[in-house]
Structure 1
């Protein structure tokens, strides 16, 4: 993801800055997706993600589809189901 774009993105709900989900948590998310899928609002994600964004407090994850962040409030994933400490 382009660094300039990443610098201006914010969560539409909390207004917190967003960062790329780190490799370990992305791997954990993709493991969940591989087992049973992950529900991003109405969208059921069944394919592994290459990238995802996370809020500073680590509570909301937004998928990136074909390089485009999906920053719709109803399309965020509650990160509470992922292992590991919050990142941000």
Structure 2
């Protein structure tokens, strides 16, 4: 995703800037998804691996990128505080 475009995006809840999630953050998330322990904010379990995502500046919420489109719906965010050792 174009860095200039990403720099214009903000979290729909806290209005903090977003940045592209790192490979280590995505790898961690995908391990949790494979183990069945990753939930979206709405409480639904994530079942499909995430290949790309944006993370809020404070590192507390991830937003998936699906087919090149950021899914910035508050209820579909993935809270990282549910994991004890998420890499920020």
Which bin holds the TM-score, normalised by the shorter protein? 0.7 to 0.9
For 1:29, the equivalent position in structure 2 comes to: 29
SS of the residue 1:31 aligns to: helix
For 1:75, the equivalent position in structure 2 comes to: 76
If the length of structure 1 is used for normalisation, what is the TM-score? 0.84
Aligned counterparts of 1:42 and 1:26: Cα–Cα separation in 2: 20
Higher-strand-fraction structure: 1
Unmatched 5+ residue regions in structure 1? none
Cα deviation, 1:53-84, whole Å, max 9, x if unaligned, reads 11111011111111111101111111113324
The Cα RMSD (Å) is 1.7
The number of residue pairs the alignment matches comes to 86
